[in-house]
Amino acid sequence: MAGRRRVLGSSATAVCLLLASLTACGGPSADDTARDRVQQVLDQRAAALLHHDPAAYAATGDRAPYPNLAAVPFADWSYRVTGLRRTGAGITAEADLRYRVSGYDRAPVTAGRTLTLSTTAGGAWYVASERPARGSAQQLWDQGPVSVVRGRSGIVLGVGQSGASLRAVADLADRAVPAVSDAWGTDWSRHVVVEIPRSLPNMAALLGSPVGDYRGIAAVTTGEAGGGRQAPADRIIVNPDAYGTLGPLGRQVVLTHETTHVATRAHTDAATPLWLSEGYADWIGYRGTGRTPAQAAPELQQAVAAGKTPTALPSDKDFGFAGDAALLARSYEGGWMACRMIAAHWDEKRLDAFYRTVGAHERRAGAVEDALRTVLGTTLERFTAQWRSYLSGQLR
């Protein structure tokens, strides 16, 4: 992280840098010098934020983002200029923002940002505005002032949420983390970062996706599939509209489910089918709650009762958020029932080993079949038939 530097230069220098021509005014080329000057301003801006110095931050230009960011405990915050272009009398800079939340991110989160810069009458450069780069999602602080609540096992960041609601989620996280560790083990960070935006549209903006993709979805977890120990912490992003309709048990199940994704991320990759990753997260979410298959899998029970027991394990495309809601529910329930069957027929340790073995493969082809053979001593055909029989026996 670069320290704070003074921005030097005269009006003549600024005019030289903003010329459309890239011809040098003596010394380095205009484009190289402009990049250096922009980088200096952004370094100053980053240092002011990290040192909690609102006056120094305001001296670099647009001060509006500072109150939104002030409560978040950042360990690092830096920009790397990746491109410049002339825009009228100013410059537009493309940059990679890299930041870490203190105590949670082992490696920086990177986000593309677009900044416009102008000069004062005296030639000093300043940031006129900052926004997500084209194709990049919003960050939570783009949506308003961020409030922060810490728990024993996580940190909850919210915009437009009361302190009481953030504390309630932190308390759920404090129960979710040990519940996940009890089932999965402790070879993970054992803490979570939860973000709660103001509304469903704000959630979609954080994910860079259409609103319709997440309508009715209580929460999602973002992260780097197969990420090692140096991967940044996952983010559990809550849809306040759907989450708010759940009762206490439902909220706990959802947060424990998403926490499971955080714990298993390093062992979840392209080889892991969604029926296994989502089913396992639901299995831990419902573990110890006393919920019966009929209570936790109502859509699947209705299908079985109507003589429409699925003929195959759910495919990845069955988990599309924007598709058939009933099919999506049956897919989650079918994955949960498959994991529940493994834990009951074999044991929980074998379920854990099965998950890890599937994720150890580099590609999807053969991953499940190999793990079924080596861990459970069965084939995909026999496992599927056993699962169908299990559905009929548990849900009729």
Q: Is 48 helix (H, G, I), strand (E, B) or coil?
A: helix
CATH number of 11-136: 3.10.450.50
Instruction: Enter the pTM of the model.
Output: 0.89
Q: What is the pLDDT at residue 164? A: 97
Answer yes or no: are the C-beta atoms of 157 and 195 closer than 8 Å.
yes
Give the pLDDT confidence of 275-292 residue by residue, as tens digits.
Answer: 999 999 999 999 999 999
For domain 137-267, the CATH class is alpha beta
Please determine, for residue 316, whether its predicted confidence score (pLDDT) is greater than 80. Answer: yes
pLDDT mean over 72-85? 97
Average pLDDT over all residues of the chain: 90
pLDDT at residue number 25: 38
154 φ, ψ (degrees, to nearest 5): -175, 175
The 10s digit of each residue's pLDDT in 327-364 is 999 999 999 999 999 999 999 999 999 999 999 998 99
Q: List the one residue out of 91, 195, 68, 63 whose CA is nearest residue 143.
A: 68
* CA dist., res. 88 & res. 128, Å (int): 13
Q: Which pLDDT score is estimated for 13?
A: 33
**Extents of the domains making up the chain:** 11-136, 137-267, 269-396
Give the pLDDT of residue 224. Answer: 63
